[in-house]
A and B are shown apart, each in its own frame.
Chain A
Amino acid sequence: MNSGSSDRSPKCFLNQNWDRSVDHIGQFGSALGSFVSPQSSFELERGLQRIGHLGKEIPPQSHFMDSSGNSQALGGLVIAGNLALAHLDQLPADPGFAERAARFSSFDGQSYGWFSGHFELPGSGKPSTAAIIQSLTASGLQTGHSESNRQIPVSNGLQLKMNSAGPAISREETSLSDPTSASNGKKRKAPSKSKEKDAASPKPSTDPPKVADEEDSDTKRRRSSEKIHEIGIDNVKPKLEQNDGARSNGNDEQKQRKERNDRPSEPPKDYIHVRARRGQATDSHSLAERVRREKISQRMKLLQDLVPGCSKVTGKAVMLDEIINYVQSLQRQVEFLSMKLATVNPQLDFDNLANLRAEDMIQICGPVPNSAYSPEMSMVSSYADVPQHKDILRCIATNGMDFHCSMNMLDSTGHQDLNAHQACLGGFGDTSSQLGFFWEDGLQNIVQMGIGQDQEIVASSHNFHGGTSPAAQMKIEL
């Protein structure tokens, strides 16, 4: 069947390329460490998770205990290699590498189908690297299938050759786990309790429910897909497909599609499902802490949109600094505005204004966003007190002037007499009709339809009253 034929060809290929590449393996770790960035570490995780899924079983725990994250190192190597072949100059040669890789001995025909497509790798000029990586991936996959005794003689050959690459693994591990832990900001725990354990503990027969579980946890938690392993398959698959170009990934692809189609929909559960990440501890404390941290980072993102000038800033401390500054500046603004209102206040009748509430609100709330934000922005950018005050004064003056101009125009359009006689009227009527006029004028600039119509009716009634009495008064005066 497939396994038979596919086994043979890769075997030869691998043997050919292995000698060439083995000497490169030693330097791989350092190169890997240097180039792994947070983004690639995410991709690493995804890749690792993919491997975890494809390899459904795990060999006895002891293997993993010893290799302490070997699986992730290898998986990382695969993805890293796929992603950054162009960056790598040489593969390091290292005895320990092969030794550990050899632990994942048995090859499976199914997973191999995936690799057969990989062997002509991106033309970065590093076929040897590619070959190694594929072999590693293959071996990584085999960890899952160790139960199935489909050992292939080539594995022995690989073992011998891979023996040279052992110590490199430790370096690779550390370099890999460094970025991953750095990106997580987490305390490093024994990666023995790795993701693969999680993935593997439900057997293949229970794969659909486990996968459905992941779907549930997807729906449960709304988080960025980068951090979620559960939907890693969907992310990794297109990514790897991109990397591999238009290669038919044969059997594996079909298998994955089948997996996806088979996911039954389970009823959502009451509590949040959290999955341990690969290489991270699975005890409840660290899981809960991870959930908490992700909550916090979510909120920080929201705050970032809110606080002006924070889009480029990253990191909690700096963000918090900005937030603190912004809150302080807003509080100072309130202080200053209340002071200004205190100076303006005595000349105006708040009682009367309170009666004109509806009209007030339209006027005040309507044009607010446009006019007020620019002064606010300019104030926010300079947090010192004195420039703030100057800015505010300038802006208020301009706003005041605007209103003043509009009112002058109103005067000149023939309401002069009315205004003049309105000025003669004292007390309540005077102020209210003045303001009523004002509101009517302002209303024309204001968007809201329904309330605006009401206001016009009210204001026009004011005008009407204002209109009749001055007319009478005019007669009297003349």
Chain B
Amino acid sequence: MQVTEAFKHAFLKQMLLGFQASAVSTKSMGFQERKNAIKLSADVAMAVARGSRKWTRGLIAGLSEERQNRSFLRLILGEQYESLLKPCHSSWKIPRCKKIVRRSLRVCWRKQKKNQSGVLARTLVEKRTQELKRLVPGGESMDGSSLLDETLDYVLSLRAQVDLMQSLLTTFEASKLRSHSKRRLPERKASYVSK
């Protein structure tokens, strides 16, 4: 995946729409509420801009777990919401037949008995993979190589998200400062004129 201009545009557009929809600027919300609303629309924008990938679906599914978000999500996504959501729920935790799992574990165990040297390394890697699965949205249902794929994608999108939010912030701050300076000017001018 490459972070293209088109992706950034779609991302930003979606984010601003989200801000609008959640009426962040007009409503009198608490600070925490506003922050959550902003984060929510940023995440949704990221998922929508990226398209349909395992982690995007996982992300939206995770967000829609909370009831309060669902209306917002439906509003933003429209018909895409259901289509994005459907494949994820079913594949979240792959239900595995116990017999097969037991059999494969037995084989693995037998192999492991022969080769004890790599056990420590393997357990370390296992632990870390588990944690990575927790971090990447929708990661529980992925296996090793697809997990790394999705991580790659997710990292790129996160980076783009951070960049966009940061520049948005600077833009707002800049225009805020500008408006402040402008407001000060007419007063000075008025005083000058009066003098």
Q: List A residues at the B interface (Cβ < 8 Å).
A: 185, 187-188, 292, 295-296, 299-300, 302-303, 306-307, 315-317, 320-321, 323-324, 326-328, 330-331, 333-335, 337-351, 353-354, 357, 360-361, 363-365, 367-369, 371-373, 375-376, 392, 396, 399-400, 403-404, 407-408, 411, 416, 419-420, 422-424, 434-435, 438
Contact = CB atoms under 8 A, between A and B. Distances in A.
A420 B135 CA distance: 50
Nearest to B5: A365
Interface in B126-169: 128-129, 131-132, 135-136, 144-145, 148-149, 151-152, 154-156, 158-159, 161-169
Contact of A419 (B26, B129, B170, B182): B182
Interface string B35-79: 110110011000000000000000000000000000000000000
Q: Is the interface of B mostly helix, strand, loop or mixed?
A: helix
Nearest to A292: B145
B5, B148, B176 — which one has the most chain A CB atoms within 10 A of its CB? B148
A404 B38 contact: no
A399 B177 CA distance: 12
Given A346-B25, A407-B174, A438-B174, 6 more contacts: A327-B132, A328-B135, A337-B165, A338-B39, A341-B169, A364-B171
Nearest to A398: B170
B181 interface: yes
Contact of B131 (A324, A357, A361, A376): A324
A371 B189 CA distance: 36
B83 interface: no
A240 B17 CA distance: 64
A187 B152 contact: no
B105 interface: no
A342 B35 contact: yes
A328, A368, A416 — which one has the most chain B CB atoms within 10 A of its CB? A368
A368 B8 contact: yes
Nearest to B115: A187
The 10 closest A-B pairs by CB, nearest first: A403-B174, A320-B128, A299-B148, A338-B39, A342-B35, A399-B170, A330-B158, A337-B165, A342-B34, A317-B124
Contacts, number: 215
Contacts of B179: 423, 434
A267 B33 CA distance: 62
B9 A365 contact: yes
A103 B114 CA distance: 30
B9 A361 contact: yes
Given A292-B144, A357-B16, A376-B159, A341 B175 contact: no
Nearest to A435: B175
A354 B19 contact: yes
A320 B132 contact: yes
B25 A337 contact: no
Q: Is the interface of A mostly helix, strand, loop or mixed?
A: helix
A400 B170 contact: yes
A347 B165 contact: no
Nearest to A285: B107
B25 A324 contact: no
Nearest to B22: A350
A295 B149 CA distance: 10
A446 to B, nearest CB: 11
B91 interface: no
B9 A339 contact: no
Given A321-B128, A348-B176, A396-B173, A371 B167 contact: yes
Contacts of A295: 145
B127 to A, nearest CB: 8
B24 interface: yes
A187 B114 contact: yes
A338 B165 contact: yes
14 contacts: A306-B152, A324-B135, A334-B42, A341-B172, A342-B31, A344-B172, A345-B25, A348-B172, A349-B25, A354-B17, A361-B8, A368-B164, A399-B173, A408-B181
A386 B131 CA distance: 23
A162 B39 CA distance: 75
A317 B130 CA distance: 12
Nearest to A438: B175
B93 interface: no
A400 B177 contact: yes
A420 B189 CA distance: 9
